[in-house]
Amino acid sequence: SDVATNQAITISFDRAMNHESVEQRFALSPALAGCSGSNNCHFAWSGNTLTFIHAHVNFDVSTAYQVSMHAGYADATG
């Protein structure tokens, strides 16, 4: 609660990760309508921290969102 509608989502890992495998298994529910097929939403990495940035696409007020990581992501060593 009390999260800004433009707040980025960050996930920190305890080790270096395979970026592509993590990004492909990231899920946000409900999805942000303006993200699909656009450059408005993207991932950025800083060390072992993934940030989901949704520029110009805000969360809906009074909507609960859930972030999930589907099985199969890998660390940098595979």
| pLDDT for residue 1 | 63
| pLDDT for residue 40 | 87
Banded pLDDT at 20 (limits 50, 70, 90): very high
Query: At residue 28, what are phi and psi to the nearest 5 degrees?
Result: -120, 125
pTM, 2 dp: 0.88
Mean pLDDT to the nearest integer, 9-30: 97
| pLDDT for residue 28 | 95
Which stretch of DSSP H or E encloses residue 78?
none
pLDDT in tens, 44-75: 999 999 999 998 889 998 899 999 999 999 99
3-state secondary structure 23-69: HHHEEEECCCCCCCCCCCEEEEEECCEEEEEECCCCCCCCCCCEEEE
Number of other CB atoms surrounding residue 54 within 10 Å: 20
d(CA 38, CA 23): 16
